[in-house]
Each structure stands twice: as C-alpha cells, then as structure tokens.
Amino acid sequence: MIHAKKQSSNNTRELEQRIENYWDKRSADFSRVRRRELDGPDGELWLRLIETHLPGENLRILDAGTGAGFFAILLAQRGHRVTGIDMSSDMLHEAKKNMTAEGCQAEFRKMSAQELDFPDATFDAIVSRNLTWTLPDVMEAYREWYRVLKPGGILLNFDSDCGKVTFSKKDEQTDVHAGISQEMVTECNSIKEELRISTHIRPDWDISYLKELGFSVASDADIAPLVRKDKQLRYDNIPMFAIYAKK
C-alpha cells in the first residue's frame, strides 16, 4: 500500500511537471493573444461581465491561473488589489511585462492553484479563466478557493468542457491557436486525457461539487457570445461556461 501511494504521488508530480513545461513553452504566443484581447473590444467586455458579479470596489482579488495577466490587468486598472498566481514561471514573466506595459500594479506569485499559500478568508473574490480544465485535482483547488474566500466572497470561474474535445493544429492566422506546433497539440491532448476533470460533464459536475462545499451557485451555459466580439480573433467553437459561486 505504501509503495502504491508513493507511485501515485510520483505520477502526480510528473504530470504536474509536464503541465508546467507545456505552459512555459506556450507562454509567448499565449501572451500575444491576451495582448490582442486587451487592445481590442473583448477586454472591456470581459471587465463588464466580471464587474456585474463583484461584491464591491477596492477588493482584494485572487487571479488563479493568471497566465499572461489578462484578468489581473483589467482588475488592477479598476483599483482592485490583485494577486495573480500561476505554476508557469514563463507565464508569470509575461504577466509582469504586460502589467508594466499597462502602467498598473499587481502582485504575482508562483503557486499551485491546488495548494494556496494564503491564510483563510484572505480574498473578497477569486477569478479564473481556462484553468480548471488543466488541473490534476480540481476538487482540491475548489476546496482551497473556498477556504481563502471571505464569507460573502465570490468565485468567478470561466472555463469549457474540454474533456471530450480533441484539439487540432490551426493554420489560419486569425485563429487564436495559430502557430502552435503539432508536437505541442499532441502533448496537450495527451495531458488532457490523463486528467480526472476530463471525465466529468461540465459545468454540472462543478456546480454540484461547489454546492457540496457550501457555495450558493449560479451559472451561464455559454458566455462566449458576450465576451468574444473581436472579428480579428477566431476561437474554437467550444462553449465557455461561467460559474458564479458565493461563499
């Protein structure tokens, strides 16, 4: 039994390292897409949607899986105190560069979204985009997010049900995933197939588990039409759900 647990732990660490390496390699092209979103109409649309659900002004907000800092920048520009975390060092480098270019400030820390180094009840809100489908243990992440939210705090999770999707190489230059090599696409699909979250029906599973934790939950099945209006950017035709969970 001890050997089996050790083997499982080793496998998890190996998978986490693969995920981190993948996003390190993707950081530059990922950042370019987020810069285009910030400079186009979609940034304002995202901010409008988020602010509809935030519980006030001058909030302390955790941007879980900040990537290139897209949400962190939008929220810092509105005067919120933002901490962005990510396991990819290269992504955090891009986030810091983008934040500096926008002339605003946020704190960025290398940290797992599944193991937060914050005290209980630290944040008024948590925002996350396209993160949970990439995590080895989403249940642990949700438990941690519940822990660090203040009573009355809000979790805004925007993601897609990618489990049954097979990603393919994109050649059209308007596609947000253009330029990603076949090797990287293959690695993404391979990693995704090893994740437990890929076996769940989403967001139904997420909503059920969040309610078990004690959240009150509302959701939208697809917000893509609300936040993807830039005709210069072409996304996958996968619905993007929104979960609004209040502690």
Domain boundaries, the chain: 2-246
| pLDDT computed for residue 12 by the predictor | 82
Closest alpha carbon to 126 in 215, 210, 62, 56: 62
Question: Which pTM was predicted?
Answer: 0.94
For 2-246, the fitting CATH number among 3.40.50.620, 3.40.50.150, 3.50.50.60, 3.90.950.10 is 3.40.50.150
* Residues of the chain by 3-state class (helix, strand, coil), percent to 5: 45, 20, 35
Q: What phi and psi values does residue 101 have, to the nearest 5 degrees?
A: -65, -30
Spatial separation of the C-alpha atoms in residues 26 and 81, rounded to whole Å:
27
The answer on pLDDT for 172 being more than 70 is yes
Q: Are 116 and 148 in contact (CB under 8 A)?
A: yes
Q: Could you give the 3-state DSSP secondary structure of residue 153?
A: strand
The mean per-residue pLDDT over the stretch 100-109 comes to 97
Collapsed DSSP state (helix, strand, coil) of residue 96 = helix
One DSSP character per residue, 208-242 reads HHHHHHT-EEEEES--HHHH---TT-B--S---EE
> Average pLDDT of 24-33?
95
Reference 68, options 14, 16, 31; nearest CA is 31
Radius of gyration, alpha carbons of the chain: 17
Integer Cα distance of 32 and 24 in angstroms: 14
Secondary structure of residue 125 in the 3-state scheme: strand
Q: pLDDT by residue (tens digit) across 177-190?
A: 888 899 999 999 99
The pLDDT value recorded for residue 10 is: 67
The predicted-structure confidence for 70-86, as pLDDT tens digits, reads as follows: 999 999 999 999 999 99
Residue 1 has pLDDT above 90, yes or no: no
Span 199-224, mean pLDDT? Answer: 98
Residues 6+ apart with CB under 8 A from 167: 177, 185, 188, 189, 192, 236
Residue 246 CA to residue 155 CA, distance in Å, equals 6
pLDDT classification of 53: cutoffs 50, 70, 90? very high
Mind listing the pLDDT tens digit for each residue in 128-163? 999 999 999 999 999 999 999 999 999 999 999 999
